[in-house]
Amino acid sequence: MSVIVVGEVDGNDVKEISQQVAAVASGMGDVIGIVMGKGISDAAMKLSTSKIIIADDEALEYYDPVKFTSIVAQIVNQNNATKVLMGATTMGKDLGPRVAAELGWGYLGDCLEAGNEGFVRPNYAGKVLAKSNTTDSVVLSIRNNAYPAGESWSGSVENFSGEIPDSGLTTTTIENVGAGTIELTEASIVVSGGRGLESPENYDEHIRPLAAAMGAAAGASRAIVDAGWVTHSHQVGQTGKTVTPDLYMAIGISGAIQHLGGMSGSKFIVAINKDSEAPIFKVADYGIVGDLFEIIPLLKSKLEN
């Protein structure tokens, strides 16, 4: 039984999330990796699957749902594969449903668990977990950090020789808005700020530098996004991003249920808040009740040393 893993490349490497997905898939059958892009062949070979099919083509420079769906479906059909797995990245969440529609399979997005015991995915922003036990063919996207990554090793490599259709979509460029910053959903540490910061200037003065010092992504509560202090791309919670880092730092965030839904899957949670009754402390592994304007600079300078 073969299982397909759609891998993604970032620069000269396979994305960490793709290696995690490869590790999940290894328990499901013979794994065939697919990597699509332009000039990605060397990096693609690092995907930890026993066989790797590389579609390296001018026409695949940017992610395109129509082209990528067609390539994945062709490889699925040639290999009689019964599952397709990918990371729940902006590409995976976009591609997975379209591949499922093309193959006529079910789709489970953003899975927290996937294996022979079944599949678990979050509903209602993680406030409910839904488990299913299907044995049918299915397309899955797997959430970052749900599983450890497989060791990097190379399998046999083949070049994709099928058709690449036209799509009608033309990507002109990728605008680097967050150059040098770490993506929230991929970060192993997230430092988030909320209304306790009192002003947008304090977000820039306290949250961003602490995040930079810790190699972390900077997040935010809905309250300060709605107030226009930071853009929506920073928002963690029910109408923002769901994050599952190794460490989540909630600073000046009271912990509304909509926020908790987006971060309570984190491995360790630290809360810093002046209000000892704030609900965030109920989910925090470690809490500090105190003045964040005193605590954050201390924390930052000690971590830098």
Partner 1 sequence: MNIVVLVKMVPDTESRLEIVDGKVNESGFKYMVNPYDEFAVEQAVQFKEANGGKVTILSLFSNDGSIDTDLRKMMAIGADEAIVLRQDNYRGDKPSANATVLSNAIKEMEADLIIGGVQGIDYYQSATGPMIAHMLGIPHISGVTNLELNDGKFTAKRQVEGGLQIIECSNPLLVTCQKDMTKVRFPALKDIMMSKRKPFESRTVEPVESNDVETAECSLPPARGGGMIIEGESSEDKVDKLIEKLKTEAKVI
Considering just the CA atoms, what is the radius of gyration of the chain in Å? 21
Q: Which helix (H) or strand (E) holds 52?
A: strand 51-56
- Count CA atoms within 13 Å of residue 261 on its CB side: 18
Residue 236 near residue 184 (C-beta atoms within 8 A): yes
Least separation in angstroms between residue 280's CB and partner 1 is 9
Q: Residue 153 or residue 268: which is nearer to partner 1 going by CB?
A: 268
Among 153, 199, 232, 275, binds partner 1 (CB under 8 A): 232
The gap from C-alpha 122 to its chain's centroid, in whole angstroms, comes to 14
Q: Tell me the per-residue interface mask from 13 to 42 with partner 1, x by CB under 8 A, - otherwise.
A: ------------------------------
Among 94, 113, 204, 205, binds partner 1 (CB under 8 A): 94
Least separation in angstroms between residue 158's CB and partner 1 is 26
Least separation in angstroms between residue 154's CB and partner 1 is 25
Which residues inside 60-89 make contact with partner 1, applying CB under 8 A? 62-63, 65-66, 69, 89
Which residues inside 266-285 make contact with partner 1, applying CB under 8 A? 267-270, 276, 281-285
Give the type of residue at 9. V
Q: Which helix (H) or strand (E) holds 131?
A: strand 128-132
Q: Residue 150 or residue 265: which is nearer to partner 1 going by CB?
A: 265
Residue 1 near residue 82 (C-beta atoms within 8 A): yes
Which residues inside 250-269 make contact with partner 1, applying CB under 8 A? 258, 264-265, 267-269
Residue 67 near residue 164 (C-beta atoms within 8 A): yes
Q: Which helix (H) or strand (E) holds 265?
A: none
Q: Which residues of 17-43 are buried (b: 16+ CB within 10 A; e: fewer)?
A: bbbbbbbbbbebeebbbbbbbeebbeb
Least separation in angstroms between residue 157's CB and partner 1 is 25
191 forms part of the interface with partner 1 (CB under 8 A): no
114 forms part of the interface with partner 1 (CB under 8 A): no
Least separation in angstroms between residue 199's CB and partner 1 is 21
Q: Residue 109 or residue 200: which is nearer to partner 1 going by CB?
A: 109
